[in-house]
Amino acid sequence: MKAKYAEWTMKYLVREGGAKGVIGMCYWACEEMKRAFPELRLTWGWIRDGKNDGPYSHYWLVAPDGQIVDPTACQFDGGISMYEEGNKEEEDRLRNENRTL
């Protein structure tokens, strides 16, 4: 991760109380980070954690060079082993069903 993104993420995590403070906050953290770095693209999809549990619905950012920037990855034990971008229709359907994204 680029130094400027890593620095922002560390400050955000300290402010929010660490990994436990960002559980379920992936969308909001990404929106806030995107405001600081407009070159990042907000992405929704599915992840598997480091224990290969999941898939879980999740938001993250993608840098112009294609690098994944995930300010809340630390909420998953063992990190994240897989990111799979979802599609807008699927995201909208889940949101309309009032499921947690």
pLDDT tens digits, one per residue of 15-55: 999 989 999 999 999 999 999 999 999 999 999 988 878 88
In a domain? residue 27: yes
In a domain? residue 66: yes
Number of separate domains in the chain: 1
Domain residues for the domain of 69 are 3-96
pLDDT at res. 101: 53
In a domain? residue 28: yes
The tokens for 10 are 């560390």
Q: Per-residue confidence at 67, pLDDT binned at 50, 70, 90?
A: very high
Beta strand spans in 1-101 (E) = 41-49, 56-62, 68-69, 80-85
Is 88's pLDDT higher than 90?
A: no
pLDDT at res. 100: 53
In a domain? residue 47: yes
pLDDT at res. 99: 56
Residues 27, 30: Cα–Cα separation, whole Å: 5
The tokens for 41 are 């693209």
In a domain? residue 38: yes
Higher-scoring residue by pLDDT: 6, 54: 6
User: Is beta strand 41-49 parallel, antiparallel or unpaired with respect to 80-85?
Assistant: antiparallel
Cβ pair 54, 47 in contact under 8 A: yes
In a domain? residue 51: yes
In a domain? residue 101: no
In a domain? residue 91: yes
> What counts of helices (H) and strands (E) characterise the chain?
3, 4
